[in-house]
A and B are shown apart, each in its own frame.
Chain A
């Protein structure tokens, strides 16, 4: 029996982000995992105190480049709540469309990295090829591939015309078709099941106790999705949370696969019912008051606490990101597994270190 400490990160090709896990290993079995954080900490919450509350939207979009639109939506909804602004229906639908496009590209990205974590490089390439089409839609409608910058306090800054609506629907049909072709591989391939089934099992009691959120929680059989609270236009669209019961890495992959279909369906619904009218209401005065706003991100529930004292800047913005809630889950799951399963389990919670450390 030989004990050694393997520093997993901060620079590691499996995880593009600098998360460091100090893994104590005995014969390739993990006995202890200690996450060391702070490599990406920039201090974004403090930026609220020296930025105009409109400028802060751009900062919140850059809390994380993968969850960008949803951070901005959550922040703007919080401010709209404080200031009593009603968002025009068209803007609410456009927010849903961009939010779901983001979920789509984030899940495809995750699935590719997940495939890469167990050495299935061709699957990674195929999934990222599909993802490029989603980014094309984002670029055509917002002007940027990754960080869109279209969300504003009171609405959105860009509209789409009827031609674009048709084009998006066509492109999404292509995406759905491609994902359907890959689905059997993810669901049934022998080597993938061998590497993911029964790895990192989280029971529903544990998930509740550790406060898991998002697909990790839903894969353990708890149907909780913040979108059900009906923010933006979700109250007018039909969907059910995707769940699985096994609670292992394969179940988490299946939940995200289901959410890809769900997102495509939601965008189709939103495009069909897209109402006319303004895209932004007027914002007058300065915010005063406090609020707590929750939004479902690809990785789970994000919570914004915003307090404003009637000035141009906000006095406090506190962001509780989904990865922050899922790190205890990760620390719980790692001991006892093989070193070769570490990337699979780490990626199965979809860690977003930039969100986590802000």
Chain B
């Protein structure tokens, strides 16, 4: 069937060409430089077709490092909503998962999943580039499966989300 064949081709292309958008959401830079290190010769994610496009309209993959606070949470939600479907989110680092060492600080709301739905969590402080690449591949798994509406719940209102 040509339709099935086309569907298979498209899903393969999605896995082969994930363009990423990186947003530093209140991280200490440790994870950011590891994300950037993934692009450089030793790790070279372009082998897998991964390119840092820096523009939410073009990206398929949102890499978020760091904790959410009251100011950047709005930016994070904006970026997520600007991305065209299909899209996946990878939260990187202990802070991105839960708030990490900063969890009890007064200006920290918590992990990335307080704001947007997260598909893959990569733990570590900071995670090694290998771990980040592995997390990205787990996320790509989701892109290669046929999309189901139950996969992606709508954004739910969370405490702090509406505050500026």
Contacts and interface: CB of A to CB of B under 8 A. Distances in A.
Q: Is there any pair of Cβ atoms, one from A and one from B, under 8 angstroms apart in the complex?
A: yes
A177 interface: no
Contacts of B140: none
B114 interface: no
A42 B105 contact: yes
A132 B40 contact: yes
A11 interface: yes
B5 interface: no
Contacts, number: 123
B24 to A, nearest CB: 5
Interface stretch (A60-68, A218-226, A253-261, A341-349): A60-68
A330 interface: no
Interface size class of A (residues with CB under 8 A): 35 or more
A50 B79 CA distance: 34
Contact of B71 (A38, A65, A112, A135): A38
Nearest to A40: B26
Interface in A37-77: 38-44, 46-47, 50, 58-59, 62-66, 68
B29 A64 contact: yes
A245 B34 CA distance: 34
A16 B32 contact: yes
A146 B40 contact: no
B67 interface: yes
Interface in B95-133: 101-102, 104-108, 125-126, 128
Contacts of A247: none
Contacts of A62: 28, 30, 101-102, 125
A65 B24 contact: no
B102 A129 contact: no
A65 B30 contact: yes
Interface string A120-134: 000011101100100
B28 A11 contact: no
Contact of B126 (A39, A129, A147): A147
Contacts of B108: 42-43
Interface in A99-149: 109, 112, 124-126, 128-129, 132, 135, 145-147
A140 to B, nearest CB: 14
A147 B101 CA distance: 13
B13 interface: no
Nearest to A71: B28
7 contacts: A12-B54, A42-B102, A46-B105, A65-B33, A128-B37, A135-B37, A354-B28
Interface of B: 21-37, 40-42, 52-56, 66-67, 69, 71-72, 75, 79, 101-102, 104-108, 125-126, 128
